[in-house]
A and B are shown apart, each in its own frame.
Chain A
C-alpha cells in the first residue's frame, strides 16, 4: 500500500492486475505461491476421515459377546458333547 502511494506521489502509474494481488490465504516462496488453507484443509479432513474409518473398522470387527463364551464353554452348535 505504501509502495503504491509512493509511486502515485512521484506521478507514476500503478498497474493493477487481479492475478498480481496475493490473497491473505496464499504463501509465496521466491515468487512461487500456493494456497496454504487448501493444504491444511486436506490434512485435517484426512485426519477426521481416518478417525471415522478407524471407528468403522472397529465396529465391523468387534466379536459378538455371545460368540467367544459359547465356544469357551465347550458347547458345540449341534448340541453333541465335544
Chain B
C-alpha cells in the first residue's frame, strides 16, 4: 500500500515538474534573442556567455523534462533540473538583493507588470523540494537495493 502511494506520488511529481520545465522552455526556444536579453538583465554574465546560455539552457530544460517523464533515468533528469534550479535561485537572489527591477524571464516574456522577484524565488524553492526528493529519495541508494 505504502509502495503504491510512493509510486503515485513519484508519477505525479515527475509529470508536474516536467510539465513546468517543458512549458518554460517553449517560449525561450521560439525567441532566443528575447531570452538572451532577459539573461543579460541579471547583469552577471557577459553578453557572449548570456547568448550561449540563452541558446542552450531552454533545450536542457526541454530534454530534462522529457527524460524525467518518458524514461527510466529519473535521477539523472532530476539532477539536471536540480542544477538548473540552483542556478536560477542564485541569479534571482542576487538580483533581488541588488534591487534590480527586472522580469524573471523564467517563462519567456511576461505580459504586463512582472511579479516581484521574491515570488519567483519562492516558486523555485517550491519546485526544488520535490526535485530533491526525486533525485535522492531512499531506495535509490546502493545499500537499499539488496
Within 8 A of B (CB), among A30-53: 31-35, 38-39, 42-43, 45-47, 49-51, 53
Whether B80 lies near A39 (C-beta < 8 A) is yes
Closest chain-B Cβ to A54's Cβ sits at a distance in Å of: 5
Is B145 in the interface zone, CB < 8 Å from A? yes
Known A-B contacts A34-B76, A39-B80; A54 and B136 likewise in contact (beta carbons under 8 Å): no
Is B19 in the interface zone, CB < 8 Å from A? no
Closest chain-A Cβ to B108's Cβ sits at a distance in Å of: 14
A45 to B52, CA, bound (A): 14
Whether B79 lies near A34 (C-beta < 8 A) is yes
Is A19 in the interface zone, CB < 8 Å from B? yes
Known A-B contacts A42-B60, A51-B55; A35 and B145 likewise in contact (beta carbons under 8 Å): no
Is A20 in the interface zone, CB < 8 Å from B? yes
Known A-B contacts A20-B145, A33-B142; A57 and B76 likewise in contact (beta carbons under 8 Å): no
Is A28 in the interface zone, CB < 8 Å from B? yes
Closest chain-A Cβ to B14's Cβ sits at a distance in Å of: 15
Whether A39 lies near B76 (C-beta < 8 A) is yes
Is A23 in the interface zone, CB < 8 Å from B? no
Whether A31 lies near B143 (C-beta < 8 A) is yes
A20 to B31, CA, bound (A): 46
Q: Mark A42-82, 1 if CB is under 8 A from B, else 0.
A: 11011101110110010000000000000000000000000
Is A17 in the interface zone, CB < 8 Å from B? yes
Is B88 in the interface zone, CB < 8 Å from A? no
Partner of B145, one of A17, A38, A42, A53: A17
